[in-house]
Structure formats: C-alpha cells, structure tokens
Amino acid sequence: MTNQGAEHSVSIEDVWVNRAVFQPGEAASLHILLNNQETGSLPIRLHLSLMSLDEKLWESSQRVETRPGKQQLVVPLELPTESFRGYGVDLTLCDEYDSPWEQKSTALDVLESWTQAPRYGFLADFAPGEQNAVAVCAWLVRYHINIVQFYDWMWRHYVLMPPQDVFTDACERQVSLQAVRGKVAACRARGIAAFGYAAVYGAEPEYALEHPEEMLYDAVGEPYSLGGLFYIMNIHQDNPWRARILAEMARAVREVPFDGLHLDQYGFPRNEVFGPEPARVPYDLAADFPVFIDEARRILREAQPGSRVIFNAVENWPIETVAPTSQDATYIEVWPPYTSYADLQKLILEAQRLAPQKQVILAAYLAPLKGAQGDDLLLAEAATRLASAAIWASGGFHLLIGERDAALCDPYYPAYASLRPDFARVMRGYYDFVVRYENTLSDLRLATLPVNETERSIQIDGITVSATGEAGALWVIRRQMPHISTVSLINLATAPDPAWNAPKPLPRTFQNLPIEIQIDEDITGVYAASPEHDEGKPHQLVYWLIQREGATWLHTNLPALEYWSMITIKTTTNYPV
C-alpha cells in the first residue's frame, strides 16, 4: 500500500479520554477510534504528545496494524500529579514511513475537586425503561462535563423521594427512580458529580393550600405563587416548612444517593413579603437565603459526607448575600436586564469580587436554538459560540451542554435543543479548549484589566476595538496574573447588536491580523490558540518590540480570528493580584 493509499484509507474517527476529570495520581487513558476502509490490514504510526499550555511534557510513538473497519485503541497516559492543571493531548497519524497525514487533539485536567473548574452540565431524561445511562454519561465525558444537575428527578417539590419506582411528576412526566439512580451511578463511574435539583421554597397546591401558615403573602394578603403551579413557602428559621424541606433534601442525598444538591428559587418575591394574617410578620428572603444555604450544606454533609451545594441566584438576585455563603460555586441564572455581552462579563466579575475563592457559573440559555432550522439554525449556532466565548474568556463557566449532544434553550430543561452532529463537534472543541487552557482562563488569580486600560493598551490597524463587547468591533478582554498576560479577542465585527441571546450572522474571518499590545514587562514568549483552528493547539508567535511615546509595544500577527482567539504573553514579572 502506498502512502497515498494509506492516507485515503485510514482515518481518526474520534479521540477522547476515559474520565471527565482525573484526581492527582489517578490512571488515565486515551481512546482512539480508527477507521480502515481497506479490505486488508494497514500499518500506521501514532505519535502522541502531552502539552501543558505551550510546553511539551512528553511524547511517544507506536506502530499499529489496523484491521479492516473500525477499531478502538486504548493508550495509557502518564499524567503529572499537580492539581488544577489542564493538558492538551495531540495525536498525529502517520504512515509506516512517518509521513503525517492527519491530526486530532483532545484535552484533560487533574483536579482535586470539580469546584476548581466546574464544567456544569445537565440530565433531564429519566423515563421508565431507559437503558442508556452508561452511554449518555460516557458522551458527557467527551465534553469534560464534571458536574451534572439532575433536573426534575423528584416526585414533588415538597416530597422529593417518590412513593414507588415509576411515578408521574408535577409536570405530568413519567419518571423512573431506577433510571435516575442508573445515571447517578454512571456519572460517578466517570468522575462526574451528580447533583439533584431541589427548590428551597416551592410546593404544589395540594400541600401549600393545606398549610397556609407555611406560605408567604403579598401586601394584600394573597399567597405568592409561580403561576399557581408552585406556591412560595417560608424558609425562615422558625417556620415548619424549613425543617420539612431540609429533611427531604437530606433524605435525597442519602437515598438516591446524590453528591450534592442544586438549590433553586424563582427570583421573587423581593419586596412586601409577609406571613399569614393576622400577625403578618414581615420577611426578607435576601436575608433568609444565606442562612438556609449554610444550614442546608451542613445538614447534607451530615446525611452524606462530602455533599456540596449550589444555589441559583436568579437574575443575579440576591447575589450580595448568597455569593459569600458556604455554597461551593457562585451560580447565576441570566435573565433581563442582563442582555448584553458586557452584562455577562459584569456578572462574572461582580460575583468574583463578592466571593473571590469560588468559580462562577452562568446559566445562560440560548433561546435562538429552540426549534431553529435552516439558516436560522446557523445564526443560532453563531450566537451560541459567541455567548460561550464571552463567558469563558471572562473567567466564568457556562451551563449549556447535557444529555447526548444537547444544549439548554429553555429554563425547563426537558425542552432542550439537540445539536446537529457537526455543531456538536464544534462545541466539543470549545470544551477541549477551556480544559486545555484552564490555567490561563480559569485561574482565580487572573484579574481583568479595566476597560480604559484595556482599550488604551491594544491597537489593531483599521479595526475597531472595544473592551465592552460592542457590536461592530473586536471585543478584547485583557487579564493578567503572575508571569502571564492574556488577550482574548471575540469577533463581534459583523454583529448587528450586542445581545448575547439573539441570533448572530456568521462572522468575517480575519487572517494574519496585526495587533499591538502595550507591555511593561520582560517577555519570555508569546503564543496564540483558538478553539476553531488547528484543534486548539498553541502556536508560537513571532513578535518584535516598538518604542513609541515612552511606551513599549509588542507587535505580532494573530494567525486567524473566526469567533474567539487568545494570545498569551509569558513574562518575568510577578503581576500583583
């Protein structure tokens, strides 16, 4: 078989690692799916490299005799034991004479806990008879999802555990507790933390109306509810509802069992909140939520050691009081008035200010994906890429992906959108990218430079640059920490508006983009990477320094910018944090 014949006959169908995340010292393996389209065996060589940012840690090579058809290879990976480290895994397929013809990459990371880099996903399908738990959770691993919310797994909001295995939930769905438990077990087997959904103050009418002393009321004495479906109960320390729901939560983590709970609320009531007549005691949920969160975490850890909690700050409320609690990540469900790309960044930065030792997760549901087809689907996919880039480049995490190649487009998770295969592969590339470069994207020491300083220190000839995510410009986000300065460029040049949750046209792709960055430090290296180009691998950039008006400017050319690219500057300077 000639080189040309082998080139057309053997391909890498896919490459992935065996777990969502690895504990320090845990064994790792790379799975490679090859396809030999010939009728006979073909010899090939596989070259493998493990990368830490732009540094090659090791490489290996092996000869493989490929059988006709598809076959899966499993290659052990030797990982350093340091925690909070992201790595790139680069694979090159060569013929037997070492001539390369195809490259694929993936990523992995070593963490002590998912809290260091919470790649939040979701599961919402628990129908009776489901047999796909292992397959679905194995697919989540390909996105490196390391924590999953089990949405609406429970019988009722006021009694979480069902009376029997198969039941009808509050939204008339058929659910199986066995299916829930199967997916919990499958998640745990792959290194994914399983979190059950639980509303802190919601109860169905059949319970709430029988317990008026446990409900909250408005200024005219009407009970608060979410459209009459769920009534708002009183979580204050002296109310019986509090003890009831905390006991239900403890039972859920113990009996399902979950690794923690996702505590939900509905974003109201914020003002004029009272107990029942005649006393009409006033209450303040912004003050009651943090006390409840801390108590819930304590009780859950007693019921199931190691349990963790996340609380939903709906529409960023009440972030000032809930961010500093003992919850394990800061989580915000994004709704108007937070409608622009700049708003996404502001939410992340403010949450980091309030709780600087916690990662920030944004639940930003991409409504354009809902029911989109044809050209509308392409516009929705562009919006998805830009919103995710905005969140990750700003140091946050995006709750988006779940089930098998699905994305959230609606607050009711079972109404998710299924991604077409090509776009699912694009999004896998994005998740590979944020894992590979988590040490220059998600390190909590990274500080985002102010708008004025960013715009003053970055210039691109003939291109409008903005540090506030303006439409018609390249959005530049500059961040720094000891020995590292990064510049993310997000391409909004053809965007008609700055709305993150609106369809967007496909961007104009820039090639060899000349960029100048003001720098005051000694530079030891510059490289660029993008989730859209060359499997996310780093490319060393040629640069030169220019003195202008008393300042030093680094001049280089960015190879390509489609949606999102990042330049990393390595320096000798220990930036203040």
With beta carbons less than 8 A apart as the criterion, state whether 516 and 484 touch: no
**In this structure, are 268 and 411 located in the same domain?**
yes
- pLDDT at 6 exceeding the cut of 60: no
Last residue of a domain, one of 441, 461, 487: 441
**In this structure, are 70 and 156 located in the same domain?**
no
Widest Cα–Cα separation across the chain: 90
Q: pLDDT tens digit string along 356-396?
A: 999 999 999 999 999 999 999 999 999 999 999 999 999 99
**In this structure, are 265 and 340 located in the same domain?**
yes
Share of the chain above pLDDT 70, in %: 98
Domain for residue 576, yes or no?
no
**CATH number of residue 285's parent domain:** 3.20.20.80
Q: Please report the pLDDT score of residue 99 as a whole number.
A: 86
> Tokens at residue 247, please?
């006991």
The torsion of the CA quartet 282, 288, 289, 290, rounded to 10 degrees, works out to: 150
Domain for residue 150, yes or no?
yes
**CATH number of residue 546's parent domain:** 2.60.40.1180
Residue that is written with structure tokens 């690794």 in the block: 259
Q: Which of 259, 351, 359, 283 is nearest to 313 (CA)?
A: 351
DSSP category for residue 367: G
Average pLDDT over residues 41-57: 94
* Mean pLDDT over the full length of the chain: 96
Average pLDDT over residues 303-319: 98
Q: Please report the pLDDT score of residue 40 as a whole number.
A: 87
Average pLDDT over residues 323-348: 98
Domain for residue 163, yes or no?
yes
Domain for residue 455, yes or no?
yes
Classify strands 564-571 and 551-561 as parallel, antiparallel or unpaired.
Answer: unpaired
Last residue of a domain, one of 55, 83, 110: 110
Alpha-helix residue ranges (DSSP H) falling in 221-284:
240-255
Does residue 449 sit in helix, strand or coil? Answer: coil
**In this structure, are 376 and 480 located in the same domain?**
no
Domain for residue 270, yes or no?
yes
**In this structure, are 147 and 104 located in the same domain?**
no
Q: Please report the pLDDT score of residue 380 as a whole number.
A: 98
- Spatial distance between the Cα atoms of 404 and 138, rounded to a whole number of angstroms: 9
Q: Which domain holds residue 88?
A: 3-110
Number of domains in the chain: 3
Q: pLDDT tens digit string along 78-135?
A: 999 999 999 999 999 998 888 888 999 999 999 999 999 999 999 999 999 988 999 9
> Which stretches does DSSP call E strand in 67-200?
69-77, 85-95, 100-110, 120-123, 147-150, 166-168, 174-176, 193-199
Q: Alpha carbon of 166 to those of 169, 172, 180, 195: distances in Å?
A: 10, 12, 11, 20
Q: Please report the pLDDT score of residue 562 as a whole number.
A: 98
- pLDDT at 235 exceeding the cut of 70: yes
Average pLDDT over residues 279-297: 98
Q: pLDDT tens digit string along 31-43?
A: 999 999 988 888 9
Q: Please report the pLDDT score of residue 1 as a whole number.
A: 35
**In this structure, are 458 and 530 located in the same domain?**
yes
- pLDDT at 480 exceeding the cut of 60: yes
Domain for residue 577, yes or no?
no
Q: In what order do the strands lie in the sheet with 69-77?
A: 10-17, 28-36, 69-77
**In this structure, are 104 and 121 located in the same domain?**
no
Alpha-helix residue ranges (DSSP H) falling in 173-239:
177-189, 205-208
Classify strands 308-314 and 202-203 as parallel, antiparallel or unpaired.
Answer: unpaired
**In this structure, are 271 and 149 located in the same domain?**
yes
Query: Residue 4 — pLDDT band, cuts 50, 70, 90?
Result: very low
Query: Residue 574 — pLDDT band, cuts 50, 70, 90?
Result: low
Domain for residue 67, yes or no?
yes
**In this structure, are 95 and 126 located in the same domain?**
no
**In this structure, are 411 and 555 located in the same domain?**
no
Last residue of a domain, one of 441, 469, 496: 441
**In this structure, are 378 and 476 located in the same domain?**
no
**In this structure, are 99 and 149 located in the same domain?**
no
Report the length, in residues, of the chain.
577
**E strand or H helix that includes residue 47:** strand 42-52
Q: Which of 235, 335, 243 is nearest to 288 (CA)?
A: 235
**CATH number of residue 17's parent domain:** 2.60.40.10
Domain for residue 30, yes or no?
yes
Q: pLDDT tens digit string along 446-466?
A: 999 999 999 999 999 999 999
